[in-house]
Amino acid sequence: MLVFLYMLAAMGVAYWAKLHRRNPVLWFAASIIFTPLGSSLAIMALDRYGR
């Protein structure tokens, strides 16, 4: 069950990346490796401060 929720959260980060016109496959992989929370914080920081 925990693996299912982890994958669901990673897919949510990938969907968020798709909505912001970023590569969703890259962000899905980053979510798997660096946890969904860390990846969502990274994409939020890039949306605000990055390019």
What is the per-residue pLDDT for 50? 82
Assigned token pair, 26: 């890259």
What is the per-residue pLDDT for 18? 96
Assigned token pair, 32: 């798997």
What is the per-residue pLDDT for 14? 96
Indicate the residue type of 43: I
Contact 10, 36 (CB under 8 A): yes
Mean pLDDT of 8-18: 96
- List, for residues 15-51, the tens digit of each pLDDT value: 999 999 999 999 999 999 999 999 999 999 998 998 7
Q: Is 29 exposed, middle or buried (0-12, 13-18, 19+ CB in 10 A)?
A: middle
